[in-house]
Structure 1
Amino acid sequence: MQLTDLILSVLLLTGMAIFIYYIFKGKVDYEDCFEMNYSIEYLCERFKKIIKDIINMDIDILNLNKKDLENRKALKRSLSNAIRMCSQGDMNSKIIVLSRVKHTLLNIIKVDETSIDKIIPFNNINQLTAVDKFEIMLYLQKRNGQKRMFQGICELTKLDRLIKDSDGYCYGITDEDIHKAYSMLPHSLTFDDKLNIAAQRIYEETYGLSVVDLLIMEDLSLDGISGGVSGITNKNYLYMEDDIQSGSHEKSRTHESVWVIYKGKPIHLKFLSFGSDAVIRRICKNLAEHGRTGHLTSAEGGIKTHLADGRSRVTVFRPDNASQWAFFVRKYANTASYNLSDLITDQGSHYPIEVIKWAVHGCINLFFSGDQNSGKTTYTRAAVKEIDKRQPIRTLEADFELFLNDVYSDKNILGTRPSERLPFPKLIELLKSSDAHTILFGETASLENAKHLIDLLLAGTKRVITTGHWPTSDELISYFVHALGANGNSGIENTESMVARLIRLNVHCVKDNDGHRHIDRITEIIPYDSDETSFDAAKDINGQLEEIAHCLKMLTRKKTYYTRDIVIYDNGIYKMINPISDGLSKIILNNLPPDRRQAFLDFNVISNC
């Protein structure tokens, strides 16, 4: 019996030892597993689960008092709205979600000064990726109060330099460029700095705008950001055989494509990637969501909208109307109150500056033309500074781009845009009753808009300023004639004559391949006088011959107007080659105060010499 008890005791002790061993082994394995789960992927999934639990929590089962219950409900509503709006350009919503990320890292994940380096290897420069270093550099610029973060980096490291490869000249930034730039800058980081950078990474990969979040949401130095516009689609194997034969087995995919426009330069950020088609698809859907009901569907194919902050225009494409998912974010309200002298800087710049100033002071209709991103809106915004404060300004735009109230808060300005229930004609009718002296028409981007602009000019508006993409002054006139639907020789001539009398000055803007913007020409459109059609000549033979010559001249004339360049841009120098015509000068003088008329006459005479 004693032997049996001994055997049972040994077996019991052995079993307990094995049981305790596996308990502690499991705990060690769990801790080892937890050590490995400081990866960005794990933390993103953990954070999304925490947010989901908060939003879906049934608060009523907590048996809270009325005050605490209302606070919890308000927290749920605030967090739910912030999650929905943060990726649509709402900075306040981003701050709310970002704060929740930091709270999660500190109070739930229990990140400290040691473990923070396991999320992003801040303490080992050799393990930092190009994306890590780029976001650290952006953060350091932001920490130093620099809102133009990308510009701050480029000014110190020259990342925006022009490069030449086998295919020609281009702008591009590679992983190697980022590593070199990072080594050029001081990058001392505190624990709070590291926490902010890690929180930003988790935020952008969960509810933010992925690798372009900081560039779209916070950087003020960029003119535009686009994604999905280079590389091959996942289904494009058309040139696979050529790739194998050439030794190039891989090409970048569309989801690895990020471009920015900085000071007019299109720069390919080759070191940035969305990681997968699923991510860029998420970004495109979120960017297209603001101000509309429902998601962007394949039946719709593309959409133009704006971010929640109202400072950026968004254009999104998706299959089947596009070969891949792609987005274009255009920032049009990131400039301060520019003077024309800040924008027009080449030699002889006083000529175009003075012509534009006198045209504005003299209440002349101005048409800024040029390609996309050539500076038309920026020049327009700067020209508004010359408008007398006593002259109320109204803007009429399809989408708000000018934001003149933010730039000139002391001027009498109202911005308007049409809607389904308030279309252009009704809005124009309302603007006539708004004490409008000057109307900025935004961009004349369609024939329908051109018709509305002519209606506005015929209604007796004192001055209209607009922009468009007309390459020449003749095409500018033809565009409006076509918009009005003129038919037959007589109809076209009458319409053309009317349009020429309404459109006075055409300021053509150009952006060079290196991103430099300048005014290529300022052209005056001069209609032929109506009394030229009649001719009083002597009754003798010489008079009859003169009358015949005049009639032949009228018959061979193909247009009811002619154009004359006042200012041109020649080899980097502005030159004033013609004075403003007598007819236009008369209009300007009539709208100038008496004490400024002589100054205009002196300028025009000097320019003619």
Structure 2
Amino acid sequence: MTELRLPGMTRGGGGPGGYLPAAGADRAPGPAGLPARVLTDAQLRSGAAEILEAVAGRLQDGAQQPEVAPVIQEAVRGWTAHRARTGGTVLPSADQEALAQAVYDLRYGLGPLAGYLRDPRVENVDVNGCDEVWVSYATGERVAGPPVADTDDALIAMIRSWAARGGQTARDFSAAAPLVNVALTGSARMTATMSVTPRPCVSLRRHGQLDASLGKLMQLGTIDPVLAAFLAAAVRGRCNIVVTGGVNAGKTTLLRALASEIPPVERLATLESEYELFLHGTQQHPDVIAFEARDSNSEGAGGISLHDLVAHALRHNPQRIIVGEVRRSEIMPMLEAMNSGQEGSMCTLHANSPTEAFDRILILGLRGGLTLAERAIHILVGMAVDLVVHVRKRHDGQRTVRYVSEVLEVMPPADTDRPTVNRLFLPEGPAGRAAAAHTPSSQLMERLVGAGFNPGLLERPQGAAAGGWR
């Protein structure tokens, strides 16, 4: 999300849209104290809508910031002058700046929710109807926010607009298509619901650590130097890796960090339900083809699933396949790709423990109509997957931290029907962060050493790290 900066403009924080807060009771205080303004939130929304209506024809789609800033600034001055002539209160600069930002956000961003995405302290925003807003911060604090619209119908209209222009392809949001998920251009993922809930609901998950690397996660204390060196060698050694964890545990951030170790000369294919990895269009990975699944239209036509995309992506000659999150039957073509030439591929999977990943894969395969026996599926997993890396989150009393807790080496079934595992890194100490525990198999060690890993690192005692990414 691009922030408009007009001449002399300062940015508010904490409140929706980055607008400066009103002195009245219609604005709930955020974690930080902010200066007051004259306009209430409702007046600000109304004024921004009036100004946008007046200049909408002059604000082109995809316009650059220098092009629209003078237009919006001129319109705000005109609206403010008219208000003063008709008996309204003269607006201070703080209100005019907030109005300009509000107009920009309505046209190019998420309206009154845009400021939350500009605030690095914010993790999630949940809206249950136009006047019930909850903001979750990295500190673990959950704060009630001010209304984002005057009516639920107005909120639905805003969501419909965001869904239509937020992702790579326009997505419908209506009674016929009441569920929508959209990636919002490098800033967040939006999930919205209507008709099947009493009121329209929208949830924003703000992407953190878009430039994640193993080095940065090590600096945060998410992983220690030994684990960082191990994972870097595993990626360079073309190990197939499944990242597991619970909801909002940081799986995508870790996957981004792992991908940062892929040599830039390699051709990658990323496959996601909604873009979250954002590996494409970067200097670090110049040769990336990024696929995004597409929902069916209201007539049930035009849908493209991740299962479809995995098979199709293989025809584009990728050296690695990266699936942002495996949720359905795409797990089987993903495993087959891992086992038939696309070594070094990676994906994430919801699981509460690393060993639970095998049950999740089995369930997803059977749910997708796979007719293989359970043991055959486990054999395929054991042959395709090299490592399972599990990430957890917890609150340490000051903030929410994410950290790697376990790493498993995966091998085909031996004495049981399930894949054989070697628990390479296990939780250590009260914090439960991963520490080296067992030696990799000779085959895995050979690949790691070939990628530059020093086996002696695993013999050194490691203390528990502190921190974890937010």
The TM tier, using the shorter chain, reads: 0.7 to 0.9
Counterparts of residues 386-535 of structure 1 (less than 5 Å): 386-409=261-284, 411-419=286-294, 420=302, 424=306, 427-446=309-328, 448-485=329-366, 491-513=373-395, 514-528=399-413
The 1-side partners of 2:52 and 2:39 are apart by 18
Which structure 1 segments of 5+ residues have no match? 1-36, 56-75, 83-89, 123-190, 229-253, 530-553
1:255 Cα shift? 3.6
1:502 Cα shift? 1.3
Q: SS in structure 1 opposite 2:216? A: helix
Where does residue 104 of structure 1 map in the other structure? 75
Kindly report the root-mean-square deviation, in angstroms, between the aligned alpha carbons of the 2 structures: 4.1
Where does residue 190 of structure 2 map in the other structure? 314
After superposition, the Cα gap between the structure-2 partners of 1:257 and 1:390, relative to the gap in structure 1 and judged at 3 Å, is same
1:208 Cα shift? 6.9
The 1-side partners of 2:271 and 2:108 are apart by 35
1:331 Cα shift? 2.8
The reply to whether residue 222 of structure 1 matches residue 87 of structure 2 is no
After superposition, the Cα gap between the structure-2 partners of 1:451 and 1:222, relative to the gap in structure 1 and judged at 3 Å, is same
Where does residue 137 of structure 2 map in the other structure? 262
Query: Which AA in structure 2 matches 1:601?
Result: P
Query: Which AA in structure 1 matches 2:173?
Result: L
Which digits, 9 at most, give the CA deviation of each residue in 1:199-230, with x for residues without a partner?
335666899755423224x44553332212xx
Where does residue 251 of structure 2 map in the other structure? 376
1:511 Cα shift? 1.0
Preserved contact between residue 249 and residue 402 of structure 2 (Cα < 8 Å) = yes
Preserved contact between residue 354 and residue 388 of structure 2 (Cα < 8 Å) = yes
The 2-side partners of 1:391 and 1:466 are apart by 17
The reply to whether residue 582 of structure 1 matches residue 442 of structure 2 is yes
The 2-side partners of 1:370 and 1:38 are apart by 44
Query: Which AA in structure 2 matches 1:102?
Result: Q
After superposition, the Cα gap between the structure-2 partners of 1:498 and 1:41, relative to the gap in structure 1 and judged at 3 Å, is closer
Identity %: 16
Preserved contact between residue 304 and residue 315 of structure 1 (Cα < 8 Å) = yes
1:430 Cα shift? 4.5
Preserved contact between residue 351 and residue 567 of structure 1 (Cα < 8 Å) = no
Preserved contact between residue 527 and residue 560 of structure 1 (Cα < 8 Å) = yes
1:464 Cα shift? 1.0
1:383 Cα shift? 1.4
Query: Which AA in structure 2 matches 1:304?
Result: N
After superposition, the Cα gap between the structure-2 partners of 1:388 and 1:299, relative to the gap in structure 1 and judged at 3 Å, is closer
1:463 Cα shift? 1.3
Preserved contact between residue 390 and residue 406 of structure 2 (Cα < 8 Å) = yes
Where does residue 298 of structure 1 map in the other structure? 175
Preserved contact between residue 580 and residue 604 of structure 1 (Cα < 8 Å) = no
The 1-side partners of 2:419 and 2:41 are apart by 68
1:112 Cα shift? 11
After superposition, the Cα gap between the structure-2 partners of 1:226 and 1:102, relative to the gap in structure 1 and judged at 3 Å, is same
The 1-side partners of 2:371 and 2:95 are apart by 73
Q: SS in structure 1 opposite 2:260? A: helix
Which digits, 9 at most, give the CA deviation of each residue in 1:452-485, with x for residues without a partner?
2123223321211110112233321222233443
Preserved contact between residue 260 and residue 266 of structure 1 (Cα < 8 Å) = no
Counterparts of residues 77-226 of structure 1 (less than 5 Å): 78-79=58-59, 92=63, 99-107=70-78, 109-110=80-81, 118=89, 120=91, 191=93, 195-201=96-102, 209=110, 211-216=112-117, 218-220=118-120, 222-226=122-126
After superposition, the Cα gap between the structure-2 partners of 1:340 and 1:115, relative to the gap in structure 1 and judged at 3 Å, is farther
1:395 Cα shift? 1.4
Preserved contact between residue 222 and residue 402 of structure 2 (Cα < 8 Å) = no
After superposition, the Cα gap between the structure-2 partners of 1:452 and 1:261, relative to the gap in structure 1 and judged at 3 Å, is farther
Which structure 2 segments of 5+ residues have no match? 1-37, 295-301, 463-470
Which digits, 9 at most, give the CA deviation of each residue in 1:482-522, with x for residues without a partner?
34439999932233122122122111111103411111111
After superposition, the Cα gap between the structure-2 partners of 1:202 and 1:454, relative to the gap in structure 1 and judged at 3 Å, is closer
Q: SS in structure 2 opposite 1:471? A: coil
Which digits, 9 at most, give the CA deviation of each residue in 1:261-296, with x for residues without a partner?
433x55433252336433434433333333676862
After superposition, the Cα gap between the structure-2 partners of 1:366 and 1:310, relative to the gap in structure 1 and judged at 3 Å, is same
* Structure with greater Cα Rg: 1
Which digits, 9 at most, give the CA deviation of each residue in 1:535-575, with x for residues without a partner?
xxxxxxxxxxxxxxxxxxx5xx4535244242424323542
Q: SS in structure 2 opposite 1:364? A: coil
Q: Which has the higher helix share?
A: 1
Query: Which AA in structure 1 matches 2:175?
Result: S
Q: SS in structure 2 opposite 1:404? A: coil
Query: Which AA in structure 2 matches 1:603?
Result: L
Where does residue 35 of structure 2 map in the other structure? none
Query: Which AA in structure 1 matches 2:142?
Result: H
* TM-score where L is the length of structure 1: 0.57
- Of the structure 1 ranges 322-331 and 471-480, higher mean CA displacement relative to structure 2 is found in 471-480
Q: Which has the higher strand share?
A: 2
Query: Which AA in structure 2 matches 1:316?
Result: A
The 2-side partners of 1:490 and 1:53 are apart by 62
Q: SS in structure 2 opposite 1:518? A: strand
Which digits, 9 at most, give the CA deviation of each residue in 1:347-404, with x for residues without a partner?
9712321221221122111111111221111111111222223333221222221111
Where does residue 235 of structure 2 map in the other structure? 360
Preserved contact between residue 268 and residue 318 of structure 2 (Cα < 8 Å) = yes
Q: SS in structure 2 opposite 1:270? A: strand
Q: SS in structure 2 opposite 1:559? A: coil
- Structure 2 residue aligned with 1:342, among 203, 216, 232? 216
Where does residue 603 of structure 1 map in the other structure? 457
After superposition, the Cα gap between the structure-2 partners of 1:585 and 1:53, relative to the gap in structure 1 and judged at 3 Å, is closer
Preserved contact between residue 579 and residue 607 of structure 1 (Cα < 8 Å) = no
Q: SS in structure 2 opposite 1:199? A: helix
The 1-side partners of 2:114 and 2:446 are apart by 53
Preserved contact between residue 450 and residue 480 of structure 1 (Cα < 8 Å) = yes
Which digits, 9 at most, give the CA deviation of each residue in 1:14-61, with x for residues without a partner?
xxxxxxxxxxxxxxxxxxxxxxx9988778767756765777xxxxxx
Q: SS in structure 2 opposite 1:288? A: helix
Q: SS in structure 2 opposite 1:118? A: coil
* TM-score where L is the length of structure 2: 0.72
Where does residue 331 of structure 1 map in the other structure? 206
The 2-side partners of 1:47 and 1:346 are apart by 43
Q: SS in structure 2 opposite 1:416? A: strand
- Structure 2 residue aligned with 1:566, among 412, 425, 434? 425
The 2-side partners of 1:327 and 1:488 are apart by 34
Which digits, 9 at most, give the CA deviation of each residue in 1:246-272, with x for residues without a partner?
xxxxxxxx5433233433x55433252
The 1-side partners of 2:87 and 2:428 are apart by 56
Preserved contact between residue 39 and residue 119 of structure 1 (Cα < 8 Å) = no
The 2-side partners of 1:489 and 1:43 are apart by 58
Preserved contact between residue 237 and residue 448 of structure 2 (Cα < 8 Å) = yes
